[in-house]
Amino acid sequence: MIFEDVLQAPDGLPLDIAVHQGKVVVLEFWATWCKPCIESIPHLNQLAAQFDQDVIFIAVTDEPRATVEPKLDKLNIHSWIACDTDRSVFKNFNVTGLPHTVIIDADGVVAGITSPHHLTSEKLSRVVRGERAEIGGPYKQIAPGFFDWELTADPGLPRAEIRSSSINENTNFQSEQDRLTGMANSALSYAMWAWDTGRGRIRTEEFDAPWSDLFDIAVIVPSGDESDLKAAVQRLLQSRLGLIIEWENIETSTLVLRQSDDLRLKLIKQAQHSDETSNTETTMDHEVLQSNKRFLWNRRTVKGDTLESLRQYIEDFSWLPVIDETGLDGFYSWSLELAYTDRQDKAPIVARELGLLLTNEQRSVPMLVIKPGDPD
């Protein structure tokens, strides 16, 4: 694996990572726009100082030198910085989300893949000594592999399997009455489906980088009852991945949706319910994406539904619980546009387009709390 460019490294350093065999190497995949990556820098700097004689730390980004170099004084990264603009190293290590930490032992073998805050001094010391170290992140260790997606061996038997995904592109998972199959999705995506909730109702404070680890899943229940299928997926995530997932009432920041005497309501009342809903997504150019500004807009148009559909839409995009106190009954048509970034700041502004107020308030609400349990 060869990098295009390396910063903060000794002069004349070869760009091929293979020349470092004989030392432990930590590859930290990151980006200047990635907030969790930036937050992990002090922790990684501490490890780099502690293991300066035994471990080489390389921060790998797919951004060019021209983007990274002007920000180095502020970022204060103490490791070498490698530019992988063709993403060849990203692809070799199946990196699908950031931050992403790969530990390579002195023999050039991958000793573990995790997130930066799960890489501890004790675990790294064991790798330096040539010992086995359980470096995995918040999940139990699940081996990658292929299994029968059609699940046709015996449809009368329940079956539930999950594996670390061997592909690096998200695919939509599909559910029927008696089965769920999915490839390369996060545990949180499966949890949102199984517990029938959205991102705004999930709390993962004790859970580092839960979106970056991808899994394949296949579940079948002979009853053909969706509630049984959801229960089976819930058991699978908790038992096989070692997660604790439960509802708790938590005092947290919420968005409260209300009517206003000062605003004209722009929702259109309908006589009956309609299932007609459309979504239009608009992607901005790559330059905007790299600057971490708004880069993907979603406009949803509803032809006749209760205000619950609007509440869920705002909740999904703001990543905050939304409480409907409008008192509006019946069915309404509406059209609203939100961006995937600037979520919480923009939501109140676009709500006013419909003649509604959306205010930030502390409330006690049910939240689905996901945290790592004790692995077997």
Contact between 159 and 219 under an 8 Å Cβ cutoff? The reply is: yes
CATH 3.90.180.10 fits 5-128, yes or no: no
pLDDT, position 93: 76
| Phi, psi angles (nearest 5°) of residue 110 | -65, 120
Give the residue carrying structure tokens 């990543």: 319
Question: What percentage of the chain carries pLDDT values higher than 90?
Answer: 27
More confident residue, 14 or 363: 363
Element housing 128 (H / E): helix 121-128
User: What residue segments make up the domains of the chain, in order of their start?
Assistant: 5-128, 159-241, 251-367
* Spatial distance between the Cα atoms of 297 and 319, rounded to a whole number of angstroms: 15
| Phi, psi angles (nearest 5°) of residue 309 | -65, -35
The two tokens of residue 324 are 């409907």
More confident residue, 286 or 250: 250
CA distances from 93 to 89, 137, 142, 330 (A): 6, 16, 17, 52
pLDDT at residue 326 above 70?
A: yes
What are 246's strand-pairing partners? 369
pLDDT, tens only, 91-122: 777 676 678 888 888 888 878 777 787 788 99
pLDDT, position 1: 65
Contact between 81 and 31 under an 8 Å Cβ cutoff? The reply is: no
Question: What is the CB neighbour count within 10 angstroms for residue 337?
Answer: 15
CA distances from 291 to 5, 65, 278, 346 (A): 21, 15, 29, 18
Q: Comparing 20-24, 251-255, 300-304, which segment has the lowest mean pLDDT?
A: 20-24
Average pLDDT over residues 188-211: 79
Average pLDDT over residues 26-43: 89
**Nearest alpha carbon to residue 67 among 30, 35, 31, 15:** 31
* Spatial distance between the Cα atoms of 352 and 337, rounded to a whole number of angstroms: 12
Average pLDDT over residues 255-260: 92
pLDDT, tens only, 132-153: 766 655 544 444 444 444 444 4
Element housing 226 (H / E): helix 226-240
DSSP helix, strand, coil percent of the chain (3-state; round to 5): 25, 35, 40
Q: Identify the band that residue 42 occupies on the pLDDT scale cut at 50, 70 and 90.
A: very high
pLDDT, position 172: 62
Burial environment of residue 28 by CB neighbours within 10 A (0 to 12, 13 to 18, 19 or more): buried
